Chains A and B, each alone.
Chain A
Amino acid sequence: MTARAWAGTWFLAAAGVAVVGAVELAWPGTAARLTRGLVSTDLLIRAGLFTVVLVGLNLLMGYAGQASLGQAAFYGLGAFASAIFTVRAQALGIPASVAGAWWWPWLVMLLAAVAVGAFALAVGWVILRLRGHYLAMATLGLGIIVYIVLRENLGMPHLNLTGGFDGIVGVPRLRVGGAELWPVQVYYFVVWAAALASMALGLNVVHSPAGRALRALHGSELAAESVGVDVGRLKAQIFALSAALASVAGSLYAHFQAAVVPDTFGFVPSLELVVMSAVGGMSSIWGAPLGALAVLLLEQLLRTHVLGLVPAVSGELEPVVFGLVLVVIMMFWPAGLVSSRRVQGTAWASR
């Protein structure tokens, strides 16, 4: 395999991202004007955040063939960790000199990713023994459990760490030194740097010996094991990596939205992540940004354009059309926008 066969495409993508960002920075609102309100910096940032999550999810589902229906939980854990340790720092007894420093949110983000990754490694060690549908169901259960625990204030309402249903507001913006990474046009670069970095990481994993082992595992766990792949360990590691990536995206989301509520990380958002992954093509790292962009654009298109044209119909029809479009895409385009020829379908899907 030629080393860094993907590098050219990656640099092209990075350049495209940089050009769009620079134009938005110089003339804010250009994208919205050119696309009649379809594309905004806000939407591009959300696409970037989902890209980070989806790179992990695609590695897990498309390459390792292990379905996760609870990925939003890890996204939520990252978001709440960042929110709790910045907004509630005083209540947690963290000295103001530390909690006020510009590097503190970054450190929290890093530690949260490590902790969430370790959590996933421990959980994955146990639940990844399950195969096929059963694994999907266990991750579904895990996702809902995490959501309920966040919603119920970790079971300790007197401390009010997560804020219950209402979540946490007033999460500070990220800073470097004294400079705040804001307005949105600036934050765009932060998010997409993370997205591109996660894609580079994902592409590296895919083209490494570990990636080849992953594909072997996808084809047949038994065969992979017989040629010396430590299947259980590899699956748990990929699960942990996907969780850590989701956690980073969650932290970036918290600092972007400035508020986090548990409902953003429940069962339905987990399904939406799977949908994005499937629409983009889960057996390709490039499917991550494309799936995120495609689904977000579709939602936005429905919201502002299609339904707006019919006066009698209000925005309430949005989920109906979204569901139907999803069904149609899956019926006629099941491999997603990008499908790698090497990996078709997933192990548990072909059951």
Chain B
Amino acid sequence: MAEPATTELPARTVPGPRGPAPGAFAARRPSSRVVLGTASAVLLLVFWALGRRLGYGLSEYLQLLVDGTVTGSVYALVAVGFVVVYRVTGVINFAQGAFVMLGPMLAITFFRALGGSGGLALAAAAAAAVLATALVATAVHRLTLHPARAASALTRIIITVGVYIALQGLALRVWGPRPYVMPAFSTLHMADRFLEVGGVTLQAQSLWVWGLGLLTVVGLVVFFEHTLVGKAMRACAVNRTAARLMGIRVDRMATLAFALAGVLGAVGGIVLAPSTRPTYDMGLDLGLKGFVAAIAGGLVSLPGAVAGGLVLGVLESLWAGVTVAGFKDLFAFVMLILLLLARPQGWLEGGHE
């Protein structure tokens, strides 16, 4: 970032608090802007070259871009769930994917229990599913990670893997292997309404994904910035010991972080469900992608996770549009490795605060 123009000593470079540390090691690596710029240019060139072969014009790319932000919004929600838990507990919570699956599965079950028709019933079912997933997440933390809080990070990560396997197994038992149908929010039917905007076809559900995703993230920001509990959670993320000395119940904050992760995962899964067909094992893919998005944002930054999710969604959509369908999933993981190698602390300034 350039220095602000209002600096009092314009002639001299004032080292910012987060400026690169002077030293040979820092100098050896190319700056993140150069790497990011080169990588983007190469990627765009690849997309353009592959797309030309398929005869793509501007509207095709726009379509892919818009589709990408829809999936990307869901990745972003899942990624924020990873970040919230990681910052407060120091654990990469692989059970996050299970929360993403539980949301829509429970919502569909509740919706059917409520009669299976009507917008109010759908909204109530979705809200109940989000709440139930948050409760499951709370129970997961209280019953497994809280008792094992003294264990090493690897042990605790393996515990979350065990929780994921158990929850997915439970889902297979309850819902079976077949895909389910979640009604689109606008039509309350399987078939959704489509809008035509400047040559781009837009599913009405996409608006719901953007809207509810935005609402969730804004709500989270308000919670972290303007409530005492939210501020206490941020304190835990900065320094657990100091937070405890200030009288903050760190373990309760950790449980709350899991509940929030449950909410985020469930909302992400539910808004996406009408345009995919939810299955008991949908959490693996979405969980891993959300995880990649979180890494892209540096794993500790909320804006980073949101940006990471959107960027991953868009790039993946473009990539899937210009290559073979089977290679769609490849992109996220190639990006993961390249991102880690180029800049492990994430791409946003202050991502490693």
CB pair B159 A327 closer than 8 Å: yes
In the complex, how many residues of chain A place their beta carbon closer than 8 angstroms to a beta carbon of chain B? 46
Give the interface segment out of B146-154, B183-191, B261-269: B146-154
Q: Which residues of B contact A323 (CB under 8 A)?
A: 162-169
CB pair B329 A148 closer than 8 Å: yes
A319 beta carbon closer than 8 Å to chain B? yes
Whether A322 contacts B169 in the complex (CB less than 8 A), given A129-B341, A144-B288, comes out as yes
- In the complex formed, the residue of B with least CB distance to A271 is B161
Q: Which residues of B contact A138 (CB under 8 A)?
A: 336-337, 340-341
CB pair B153 A126 closer than 8 Å: no
In the complex, how many residues of chain B place their beta carbon closer than 8 angstroms to a beta carbon of chain A? 43
Closest CB-CB distance, A228 to chain B, in whole Å?
20
A44 beta carbon closer than 8 Å to chain B? no
- In the complex formed, the residue of B with least CB distance to A317 is B173
Indicate which residue in B156, B158, B333 contacts A141 across the interface (CB closer than 8 Å).
B333
Whether A274 contacts B158 in the complex (CB less than 8 A), given A145-B334, A330-B151, comes out as yes
Indicate which residue in A133, A152, A317, A334 contacts B92 across the interface (CB closer than 8 Å).
A133
Closest CB-CB distance, A53 to chain B, in whole Å?
17
A23 beta carbon closer than 8 Å to chain B? no
Which residues of chain A from 125 to 160 have a CB within 8 Å of any chain B CB? 126-127, 129-130, 133-134, 137-138, 140-142, 144-145, 148-149, 151-152, 155
CB pair A322 B165 closer than 8 Å: yes
A320 beta carbon closer than 8 Å to chain B? yes
Whether A127 contacts B341 in the complex (CB less than 8 A), given A138-B336, A351-B153, comes out as yes
The CA of A137 and the CA of B294, in the complex, are separated in Å by 11
Closest CB-CB distance, B152 to chain A, in whole Å?
4
B324 beta carbon closer than 8 Å to chain A? yes
CB pair A67 B334 closer than 8 Å: no
A263 beta carbon closer than 8 Å to chain B? no
The CA of A346 and the CA of B156, in the complex, are separated in Å by 13
Main secondary structure of the interface of B (DSSP, over half): helix
CB pair B336 A137 closer than 8 Å: yes
B36 beta carbon closer than 8 Å to chain A? no
Give 1 or 0 for each of B276-299: 1 = CB within 8 Å of chain A CB.
Answer: 000000001000100110010001
Q: Which residues of A contact B152 (CB under 8 A)?
A: 334, 345-346, 349-350
CB pair A327 B166 closer than 8 Å: yes
B32 beta carbon closer than 8 Å to chain A? no
Closest CB-CB distance, B182 to chain A, in whole Å?
23
Q: Which residues of B contact A149 (CB under 8 A)?
A: 330
The CA of A319 and the CA of B161, in the complex, are separated in Å by 12
CB pair A349 B166 closer than 8 Å: no
The CA of A321 and the CA of B170, in the complex, are separated in Å by 9
The CA of A320 and the CA of B280, in the complex, are separated in Å by 13
Which residues of chain A from 263 to 314 have a CB within 8 Å of any chain B CB? 267-268, 271, 274-275, 278
CB pair B165 A319 closer than 8 Å: yes
Closest CB-CB distance, B29 to chain A, in whole Å?
11
A331 beta carbon closer than 8 Å to chain B? yes
Indicate which residue in B172, B299, B330, B334 contacts A319 across the interface (CB closer than 8 Å).
B172
CB pair B337 A349 closer than 8 Å: no
CB pair B153 A349 closer than 8 Å: yes
A326 beta carbon closer than 8 Å to chain B? yes
Indicate which residue in A126, A316, A346 contacts B154 across the interface (CB closer than 8 Å).
A346
B4 beta carbon closer than 8 Å to chain A? no
Whether A327 contacts B163 in the complex (CB less than 8 A), given A148-B329, A152-B327, A348-B153, comes out as yes
The CA of A349 and the CA of B292, in the complex, are separated in Å by 20
Closest CB-CB distance, B54 to chain A, in whole Å?
17
CB pair A137 B341 closer than 8 Å: no
CB pair A137 B173 closer than 8 Å: no
CB pair B163 A316 closer than 8 Å: no
The CA of A332 and the CA of B172, in the complex, are separated in Å by 27
The CA of A323 and the CA of B158, in the complex, are separated in Å by 10
Indicate which residue in B92, B153, B163, B340 contacts A350 across the interface (CB closer than 8 Å).
B153
Whether A278 contacts B155 in the complex (CB less than 8 A), given A317-B169, A318-B169, A320-B169, comes out as yes
A324 beta carbon closer than 8 Å to chain B? yes
CB pair B284 A349 closer than 8 Å: no
Q: Which residues of B contact A133 (CB under 8 A)?
A: 92, 153, 299
Whether A326 contacts B165 in the complex (CB less than 8 A), given A278-B155, A317-B173, comes out as yes
Q: Which residues of A contact B165 (CB under 8 A)?
A: 319, 322-323, 326
Indicate which residue in B151, B158, B299, B324 contacts A152 across the interface (CB closer than 8 Å).
B324
The 8 closest A-B pairs by CB, nearest first: A323-B166, A319-B169, A349-B154, A323-B165, A326-B162, A349-B152, A320-B169, A327-B162
Q: Chain A interface (Cβ within 8 Å of chain B)? A: 67, 126-127, 129-130, 133-134, 137-138, 140-142, 144-145, 148-149, 151-152, 155, 267-268, 271, 274-275, 278, 316-327, 330-331, 334, 345-346, 348-351
| Known A323-B167, A349-B152; further 4 A-B contacts with Cβ < 8 A | A137-B295, A148-B333, A318-B169, A320-B169
